[in-house]
């Protein structure tokens, strides 16, 4: 083994630095590991290498041509220069070609100052574009409720296409036409709302320019804030772990208190915590699961917190919808409670309340428009949108003091906090289910087997003498595999958690990029820290939740609870 | 008596079908054969009577009755006679027909006729050897890929032979260059030769599945191949235990492409076969490692495969005697453009281009001068008359900035403007670019736009350098062969015909009179004042009194050339 390791190391020189790599590494991999950033658009460590943008070209001594570092394997002894004059000149030409076919409306672009094309143009000092001629002119596609496409800003790096097709297996978008007229589009040039798009927004995250952006609801919220309505915000579990990044704070800084203060400063009358609804969601889901598990009916049961996953299931696996938990997502639970329980409590007409959901997710914009939830939530702002709103309102986020969520919908447990990362919902559900099945207050509540960033995690847990096989997946490509298994009747699991986005909600389509393993791990850590610092770490022990059941809903899984906290699914056609 | 008529696509388009029907209606024993390669004489009818052979050319529906009359009288129809033996013709004297030996002489779908000419003796010879020995024979023959790059075939086969498990052979018949039709001719006129070659390859590499990839725009080739494949299966020349060789199983079938030039690139072709968009992938991994459906794959051109059967038939060392030191054997070339005798020509490697143009092709049409020969299709380069003594060889052509390509040779005479030629081919490549990589997608478009400007005389001499720089950038940075070779036509015309570019930009003239925008029509003293030109001018820019010299208002003239055509006194001068 020792010998093999020694043999399998490859030595090379990059920018006068002696470095090492292993067989199969590409030049860009080794360079990045050694802190050398090579400009690139199409390369992404989670996606197939396509060598399309040619921006990552480098000079290798002795080779006549410049080569693309993203798809050239390292070799012993090669001498690489990533920023030689020749390389820079070629990169400049490449950038000029891209910019010659770009609308260059930077100052009015949503991605202004966060655009990679802009960044490289600045770095390479592109001040004059030598080429002019025809430009792509297409009307932006505003048809989707979640995602806006503007092909005039597209540089065809295919990140969106690959994430949609290869990782999510949704196949909503692809390349069409040839040559200069090549473009990203849903099949047959249809609008996004007619495609199979599940609104997960992973394409938005992947897009290095302003070609794919979330459909903005900021103006609607500003108008609402200036109306005479009663303004309520709810914030999803993952927002507190990511919002700080938008204000230059280190990745993985929890900002719960500042976030609440900021929303108050923005003009919200009440700021509630979606985490409370997450606890209620677990109470309902665990009740449902135990019932199904005992009756051995409709197993495996699948979690339904993720609206992108729900649409995916409704489109592609409509015969298996009975496997889905009937429980609403935490967002929809809290929305329902605010417009019923809370409205009654403060004696307000629900119509006079405007509820703004702060979500990690572009698919939530679609979820609130589902007919089942009509009249509940009014707007969804993503993390990125909230940051933009706060900046617009001149809220100096980093200097804000901490505040607490408002009551009675502001108290939560550690179990709810971890909803934001992959495996969290399952872990929270297991904490409650294990207690209930065993009839004890169990001390061992950390289910570390399902906490990693692997896209497919399974565990067998013994609860009250019975073995429960659980599985946690994130990304819809993995979900598809599980669903195929279920369709064939071969699923070995009892309980499955599915999240559409890589990493779970901390990697949602509305979260600030980049969504690489390192960033996502830090965000996960932030949520686990929140959980571990909590006194109450099991959903069914949430005092506020218990109170709501007592005051309003009745027993766990009661008829009223079903009416307000559960939903149903149906086959969805697409294209 | 036996009468044959060439009924390949070229014959049919020249009007051979009604001729065939007429001969049949006259109760003559007429048989279909493939294409003999004399495009300039199509439709070609051969009459063999008592060992006397008469070859008739340009037999059309208008003159076929004359021929029928002669045949019935037992006379030779002098009027239509081309020769009694094709070898008498200058067109064939310098040719060495190995691959084309049967084309136009046998019924393509008559296996007996194919076998009479020692067909399938190649496979029989191969089966007497061990697979490794067959590869050794190919090595001795010195065969190199006829698809363009000239990679040694034996080495390629060796890679595949070393691989265990499922693997594939692909025959690349996706001939997409304008003016190239040698693959089509082989597929239509001698399909068994191709099938035999691939079968030998299957034996040598231990492969059990092969695919012939060809474009759907070749309906006759597909129909012929499909029938030939069925005959081969029925005669144990494909399928299981081929020719009684225990354990030698080979399945071969056709996959149609939708006609994208880029699908001739092997990785794009593999994508296309898999049902994906035909776009190239970066290499490595090479198809030999990871090709079709992720399995080891060997791709060879129709031309290469057709040579295999010949090599195994005549013997490797015999084959190696033909050609040059580095490049053995023959090359099938499509001779088109401004040349007297167009057609398919098979010459030994090393034949001088001059011989191809003058001895075989008969030079350019009367009254015109040879200017250049474009070798390698749209991605090829132009070779001027100073280099006509260049021998046909991969390396020599490359040194001149051209490529062998699949063998398209377009002859250009002094009626063509070299800038316009470059523009024409750049237009083709930019339309056929798959749109994946930036240099090709954006670069070829900008090159085209700049070339169009030159043809219009817009810009100055410094623009020539700009064109050259961008062309070099595209050549050096594009992902696949299409993009890397796309600028060849620009770079080679810039190298050999820079003065023409200068003339367009500096003097605002086009020496060939091909660039409409730079043309000037003037009325000379020959004008008798008939007024015919003025009556026909669509923009009314010609004026003058009756019987007096007219004048053209240059400002208004749209250079349509109508006046030039209608003037009965040749009084209009085009400059």
CB-nearest to A50 from B282, B443, B445 is B282
A261 and A203 in one domain? Answer: no
Q: Residue A281 maps to which CATH number?
A: 3.40.950.10
CA distances in angstroms from B438 to A41, A54, A56, B463, listed in the order given: 11, 7, 12, 21
A526 and A378 in one domain? Answer: yes
Task: State how far residue B433 is from chain A, nearest Cα, in angstroms.
Answer: 4
Task: Please indicate if any CB of chain B lies within 8 Å of the CB of A174.
Answer: yes
- Per the CB < 8 Å rule, is A53 touching B442? no
Q: Is residue A239 part of a domain?
A: yes
Q: Is residue A287 part of a domain?
A: yes
Q: Which helix (H) or strand (E) holds A285?
A: helix A274-295
CB-nearest to A179 from B431, B439, B446 is B431
Which member of A122, A372, A460, A462 is catalytic?
A372
Q: Is residue B102 part of a domain?
A: no
Q: Is residue A438 part of a domain?
A: yes
B173 and B292 in one domain? Answer: yes
CA distances in angstroms from A248 to A35, A242, A512, A519, listed in the order given: 21, 11, 11, 14
A478 and A534 in one domain? Answer: yes
Q: Is residue A572 part of a domain?
A: no
What's the mean per-residue pLDDT of chain A? Answer: 94
Please tell me the predicted confidence (pLDDT) of residue A6.
Answer: 53
A301 and A208 in one domain? Answer: no
Helix axes B462-477, A85-100, angle to 10 degrees: 100
How many angstroms separate the CA atoms of B203 and B131, rounded? 6
B268 and B165 in one domain? Answer: yes
A518 and A559 in one domain? Answer: yes
Q: Give the 3-state secondary structure of residue A363.
A: helix
B236 and B147 in one domain? Answer: yes
Q: Residues of A with CB below 8 A from B470's CB?
A: 93, 131
> Which of B438, B444, B450, B483 best tests the A interface by mutation, with the highest count of A CBs <10 A?
B438
- Per the CB < 8 Å rule, is B438 touching A98? yes
Single residue among A83, A118, A138 that ends a domain in this structure? A83
Single residue among B387, B413, B439 that ends a domain in this structure? B413
- List the one residue out of A251, A278, A311, A326 whose CA is nearest residue A519: A251
Q: Residues of B with CB below 8 A from A54's CB?
A: 437-439, 477-479
What are the residues whose beta carbons fall under 8 Å from the beta carbon of A9, sequence distance 6 or more?
Answer: A20, A21, A22
DSSP A35: T
The answer to whether B436 and B484 are in contact (CB under 8 A) is no
> Is A488 an active-site residue?
no
How many angstroms separate the CA atoms of B190 and B303, rounded? 12
Q: Give the residues across from B299 on adjacent strands.
A: B170
For B267, the closest chain A residue by CA position comes to: A50
Q: Residues of B with CB below 8 A from A66's CB?
A: 476-477
A25 and A107 in one domain? Answer: no
Rounded to the nearest 10 degrees, how much is the dihedral formed by the CA atoms of B120, B121, B124, B126? Answer: -100
Q: Residues of B with CB below 8 A from A174's CB?
A: 277
Which member of A214, A285, A314, A478 is catalytic?
A285
Q: Residues of A with CB below 8 A from B431's CB?
A: 178-179
Over the range A321-350, which residues count as b (16 or more CB within 10 Å of their CB) and which as e?
bebbbbbbbbbbbbbbbbbbbbbeeeeeee
Q: Binning pLDDT at 50, 70 and 90, where does residue A463 land?
A: confident
B234 and B123 in one domain? Answer: yes
pLDDT in tens, A196-219: 999 999 999 999 999 999 999 999
A554 and A415 in one domain? Answer: yes
CA distances in angstroms from A525 to A12, A391, A423, B43, listed in the order given: 35, 27, 13, 79
Q: Is residue A91 part of a domain?
A: no
Q: Is residue B90 part of a domain?
A: no
Q: Residue B543 maps to which CATH number?
A: 3.30.70.20
Find the mean pLDDT for residues A349-369: 96
Q: Is residue B138 part of a domain?
A: yes
Find the mean pLDDT for residues A250-257: 95
The ranges of chain B with pLDDT < 50 are none
Task: State how far residue B190 is from chain A, nearest Cα, in angstroms.
Answer: 34
B458 and B405 in one domain? Answer: no
Q: Residues of A with CB below 8 A from B277's CB?
A: 174-175
Q: Residue A28 maps to which CATH number?
A: 3.10.20.740
Q: Give the 3-state secondary structure of residue B450.
A: helix
User: What strands lie across the sheet with A230-235, from one edge to the other?
Assistant: A270-273, A230-235, A353-359, A379-382
pLDDT for A183 beyond 70: yes
How many angstroms separate the CA atoms of A52 and A154, rounded? 13
B288 and B158 in one domain? Answer: yes
Q: Binning pLDDT at 50, 70 and 90, where does residue A2 land?
A: very low
A114 and A79 in one domain? Answer: no
Interface size A-B, in CB pairs within 8 Å, comes to: 102
A239 and A104 in one domain? Answer: no
Which member of A314, A326, A505, A541 is catalytic?
A505
Q: Give the residues across from B330 on adjacent strands.
A: B348
> Is A427 an active-site residue?
no
What are the residues whose beta carbons fall under 8 Å from the beta carbon of A524, sequence distance 6 or more?
Answer: A421, A422, A451, A453, A503, A506
Q: Is residue B497 part of a domain?
A: yes
Rounded to the nearest 10 degrees, how much is the dihedral formed by the CA atoms of B435, B440, B441, B446? Answer: -160
Residue with tokens 């008359």: B385
Q: Residue A179 maps to which CATH number?
A: 3.30.70.20
Task: Please indicate if any CB of chain A lies within 8 Å of the CB of B277.
Answer: yes
Q: Residues of B with CB below 8 A from A95's CB?
A: none
> Is A96 an active-site residue?
no
- Per the CB < 8 Å rule, is B473 touching A51? no
Query: CB neighbours (10 Å) of residue A37?
Result: 11
Q: What's the angle, vertex CA B129, arms to CA B124 and CA B130, rounded to 5?
A: 130
The answer to whether B512 and B420 are in contact (CB under 8 A) is yes
Q: Give the 3-state secondary structure of residue B530.
A: coil
Single residue among B451, B473, B507 that ends a domain in this structure? B507
> What is the model's pTM?
0.92
> Is A285 an active-site residue?
yes
Q: Give the 3-state secondary structure of residue B31.
A: strand
Task: Please indicate if any CB of chain A lies within 8 Å of the CB of B284.
Answer: yes
Q: Binning pLDDT at 50, 70 and 90, where does residue A1 land?
A: very low
Beta strands B297-301 and B168-173, pairing class:
parallel
> Is A505 an active-site residue?
yes
A179 and A114 in one domain? Answer: yes
B400 and B422 in one domain? Answer: no
Q: Is residue A575 part of a domain?
A: no
Single residue among A214, A231, A260 that ends a domain in this structure? A214
A446 and A428 in one domain? Answer: yes
- Give me the number of domains chain B comprises: 5
pLDDT in tens, A25-52: 999 999 999 999 999 999 999 999 999 9
For B451, the closest chain A residue by CA position comes to: A133
Q: Which helix (H) or strand (E) holds B375?
A: strand B370-375
Find the mean pLDDT for residues A158-181: 96
B150 and B41 in one domain? Answer: no
Q: Is residue A30 part of a domain?
A: yes
- List the one residue out of A103, A95, A98 whose CA is nearest residue A138: A103
Please tell me the predicted confidence (pLDDT) of residue A462.
Answer: 87
Q: What are phi and psi of A164, to 5 degrees?
A: -70, -40
B441 and B376 in one domain? Answer: no
How many angstroms separate the CA atoms of B85 and B126, rounded? 33
> Is A111 an active-site residue?
no
B232 and B343 in one domain? Answer: no
Task: State how far residue B291 is from chain A, nearest Cα, in angstroms.
Answer: 15
Q: Which two tokens stand for residue B521?
A: 């029509």
Exposed/middle/buried for residue B557 (C-beta within 10 Å: 0-12, 13-18, 19+): middle
The answer to whether B166 and B295 are in contact (CB under 8 A) is yes
Q: Residue B29 maps to which CATH number?
A: 3.40.30.10
pLDDT in tens, A117-142: 999 999 999 999 999 999 999 999 99
Q: Is residue B98 part of a domain?
A: no
Q: Is residue B105 part of a domain?
A: no
Over the range A533-562, which residues count as b (16 or more CB within 10 Å of their CB) and which as e?
eeebbbbbbbebbeebbeebbeebbbeebb
- Per the CB < 8 Å rule, is A97 touching B432? no
Q: Which domain holds residue B552?
A: 519-574
B429 and B391 in one domain? Answer: no
A404 and A493 in one domain? Answer: yes
Q: Which domain holds residue A389?
A: 219-565
pLDDT for A344 beyond 80: yes
CB-nearest to A133 from B279, B281, B446 is B446
For B426, the closest chain A residue by CA position comes to: A179
Q: Give the residues across from B348 on adjacent strands.
A: B330
Peptide bond into A300 cis (omega under 30): yes
Q: Is residue B92 part of a domain?
A: no
B334 and B314 in one domain? Answer: no
Q: What's the angle, vertex CA B223, arms to CA B218 and CA B225, rounded to 5?
A: 95
How many angstroms separate the CA atoms of B84 and B273, rounded? 46
Enter the ipTM: 0.92
Please tell me the predicted confidence (pLDDT) of residue B155.
Answer: 96
pLDDT in tens, B213-227: 999 999 999 999 999
Q: Residues of A with CB below 8 A from B438's CB?
A: 52-55, 94, 97-98, 155-156
Q: Binning pLDDT at 50, 70 and 90, where does residue A573 land?
A: confident
Q: Residue B503 maps to which CATH number?
A: 1.20.1440.230
Q: Is residue A439 part of a domain?
A: yes
The answer to whether B380 and B123 are in contact (CB under 8 A) is no
Rounded to the nearest 10 degrees, how much is the dihedral formed by the CA atoms of B229, B230, B231, B236? Answer: 90
Q: Binning pLDDT at 50, 70 and 90, where does residue A181 land?
A: very high
Single residue among A196, A214, A232 that ends a domain in this structure? A214
For B443, the closest chain A residue by CA position comes to: A97
What are the residues whose beta carbons fall under 8 Å from the beta carbon of A70, sequence distance 6 or more?
Answer: A26, A27, A28, A40, A42, A43, A49, A51, A56, B282
Output the CA torsion sign for B285, B286, B290, B292.
Answer: positive
- Give me the number of domains chain A comprises: 3
Q: Is residue B95 part of a domain?
A: no
The answer to whether B482 and B377 are in contact (CB under 8 A) is no
Residues above pLDDT 70, as percent of chain B: 100
């Amino acid at each position: 083994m020792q010998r093999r390791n020694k043999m399998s190391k490859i030595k090379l020189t990059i920018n006068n630095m002696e470095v090492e790599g292993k067989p199969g590494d590409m030049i860009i991999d080794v360079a990045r590991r050694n802190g050398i950033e090579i400009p690139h658009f199409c390369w992404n460590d989670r996606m197939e290498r396509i060598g399309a943008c040619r921006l990552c070209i480098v000079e290798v001594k002795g080779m006549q041509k410049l080569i693309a570092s993203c798809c050239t394997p390292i070799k012993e002894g090669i001498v690489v220069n990533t920023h030689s004059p020749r390389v820079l000149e070629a990169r400049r030409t490449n950038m000029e070609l891209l910019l010659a076919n770009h609308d260059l409306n930077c100052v009015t672009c949503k991605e202004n100052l966060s655009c990679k094309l802009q960044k490289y143009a600045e770095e390479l000092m592109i001040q004059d574009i030598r080429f002019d001629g025809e430009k792509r002119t297409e009307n932006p596609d505003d048809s989707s409720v979640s995602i806006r496409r503007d092909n005039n800003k597209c540089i065809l790096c295919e990140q969106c296409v690959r994430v949609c097709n290869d990782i999510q297996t949704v196949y909503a978008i692809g390349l069409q036409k040839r040559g200069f007229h090549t473009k990203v589009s849903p099949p047959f040039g249809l609008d996004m709302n007619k495609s199979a798009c599940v609104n997960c927004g992973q394409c938005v995250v992947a897009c290095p320019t302003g070609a794919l952006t979330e459909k903005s609801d900021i103006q609607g919220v500003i108008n609402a804030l200036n109306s005479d309505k009663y303004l309520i915000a709810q914030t999803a579990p993952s927002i507190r772990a990511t919002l700080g990044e938008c204000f230059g704070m280190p990745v993985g800084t929890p900002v719960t208190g500042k976030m609440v203060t900021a929303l108050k400063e923005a003009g919200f009358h009440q700021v509630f915590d979606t985490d409370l609804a997450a606890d209620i969601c677990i109470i309902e889901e665990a009740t449902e699961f135990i019932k199904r598990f005992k009756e051995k009916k409709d197993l495996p049961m699948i979690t339904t917190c993720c609206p992108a996953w729900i649409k995916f299931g409704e489109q592609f696996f409509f015969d298996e919808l009975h496997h889905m938990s009937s429980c609403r997502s935490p967002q929809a639970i809290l929305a329902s409670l605010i417009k019923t329980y809370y409205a009654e409590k403060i004696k307000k007409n629900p119509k006079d309340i405007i509820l703004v959901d702060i979500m990690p997710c572009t698919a939530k914009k679609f979820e609130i428009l589902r007919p089942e939830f009509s009249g509940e939530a009014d707007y969804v702002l993503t993390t990125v949108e909230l940051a933009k709103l706060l900046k617009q309102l001149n809220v100096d986020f980093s200097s804000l003091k901490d505040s607490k969520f408002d009551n009675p919908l502001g108290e939560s447990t550690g179990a709810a906090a971890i909803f934001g990362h992959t495996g969290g919902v399952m872990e929270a559900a297991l904490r409650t289910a294990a207690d209930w099945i065993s009839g004890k207050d169990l001390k061992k509540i950390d289910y570390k087997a399902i906490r990693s960033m692997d896209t497919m995690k399974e565990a067998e847990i013994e609860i009250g003498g019975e073995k429960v096989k659980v599985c946690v997946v994130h990304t819809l490509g993995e979900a598809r595999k599980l669903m195929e298994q279920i369709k064939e009747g071969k699923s070995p699991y009892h309980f499955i958690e599915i999240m559409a986005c890589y990493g779970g909600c901390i990697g949602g389509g509305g979260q600030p990029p980049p969504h690489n393993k390192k960033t996502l791990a830090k965000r996960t850590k932030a949520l686990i820290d929140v959980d571990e610092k909590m006194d109450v770490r099991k959903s069914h022990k949430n005092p506020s939740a218990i109170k709501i059941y007592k005051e309003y809903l009745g027993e766990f899984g009661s008829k009223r609870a079903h009416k307000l906290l559960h939903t149903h699914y149906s086959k969805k056609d697409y294209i | 008596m036996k009468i044959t008529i060439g009924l390949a696509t070229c014959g049919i388009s020249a009007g051979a079908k009604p001729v065939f029907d007429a001969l049949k209606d006259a109760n003559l024993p007429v048989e279909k054969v493939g294409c003999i390669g004399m495009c300039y004489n199509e439709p070609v009818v051969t009459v063999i009577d008592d060992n006397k052979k008469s070859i008739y050319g340009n037999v059309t529906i208008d003159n076929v009755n004359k021929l029928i009359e002669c045949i019935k009288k037992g006379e030779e129809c002098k009027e239509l006679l081309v020769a009694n033996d094709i070898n008498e013709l200058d067109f064939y004297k310098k040719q060495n027909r190995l691959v084309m030996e049967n084309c136009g002489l046998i019924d393509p779908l008559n296996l007996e006729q194919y076998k009479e000419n020692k067909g399938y003796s190649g496979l029989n010879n191969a089966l007497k050897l061990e697979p490794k020995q067959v590869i050794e024979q190919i090595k001795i023959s010195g065969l190199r890929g006829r698809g363009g790059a000239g990679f040694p075939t034996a080495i390629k086969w060796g890679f595949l032979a070393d691989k265990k498990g499922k693997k594939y052979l692909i025959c690349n018949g996706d001939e997409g260059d304008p003016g190239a039709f040698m693959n089509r001719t082989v597929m239509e006129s001698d399909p068994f030769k191709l099938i035999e070659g691939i079968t030998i390859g299957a034996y040598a590499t231990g492969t059990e599945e092969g695919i012939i990839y060809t474009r759907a725009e070749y309906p006759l080739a597909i129909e012929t191949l499909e029938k030939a494949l069925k005959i081969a299966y029925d005669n144990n020349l494909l399928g299981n235990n081929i020719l009684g060789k225990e354990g030698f199983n080979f399945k071969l079938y056709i996959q149609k492409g939708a006609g994208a030039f880029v699908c001739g690139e092997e990785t794009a072709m593999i994508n296309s076969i898999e049902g994906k968009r035909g776009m190239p992938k970066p290499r490595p991994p090479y198809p030999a490692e990871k090709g079709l459906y992720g399995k080891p794959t060997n791709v060879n051109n129709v031309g290469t495969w057709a040579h295999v059967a010949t090599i195994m038939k005549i013997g490797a060392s015999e084959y190696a005697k033909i050609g040059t030191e580095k490049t053995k054997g023959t090359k099938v070339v499509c001779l088109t453009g401004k040349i007297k005798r167009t057609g398919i020509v098979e010459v030994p490697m090393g034949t001088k281009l001059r011989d191809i143009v003058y001895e075989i092709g008969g030079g350019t049409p009367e009254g015109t001068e040879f200017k250049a020969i474009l070798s390698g299709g749209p991605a090829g380069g132009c070779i001027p008359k100073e280099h006509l003594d260049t021998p046909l060889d991969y390396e020599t052509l490359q040194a001149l900035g051209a490529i062998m390509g699949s063998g398209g040779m377009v002859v250009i005479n002094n009626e063509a403007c070299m800038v316009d030629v470059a523009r024409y081919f750049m237009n083709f490549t930019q339309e056929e670019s798959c749109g994946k990589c930036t240099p090709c997608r954006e670069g070829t478009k900008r090159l085209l736009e700049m070339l169009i400007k030159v043809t219009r005389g817009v810009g100055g001499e410094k623009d020539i350098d700009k064109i050259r720089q961008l062309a070099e950038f595209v050549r050096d940075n594009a992902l696949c062969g299409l993009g890397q070779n796309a600028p060849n036509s620009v770079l080679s015309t810039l190298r050999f015909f820079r003065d023409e570019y200068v003339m367009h930009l500096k003097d605002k003239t086009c020496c060939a009179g091909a660039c409409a925008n730079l043309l000037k029509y003037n009325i000379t003293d020959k004008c008798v004042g008939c007024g015919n030109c003025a009556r026909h001018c669509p923009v009314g820019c010609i004026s003058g009194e009756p019987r007096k010299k007219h004048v053209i208002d240059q400002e208004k003239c749209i250079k349509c050339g109508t006046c030039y055509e209608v003037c009965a006194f040749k009084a209009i001068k085009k400059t």
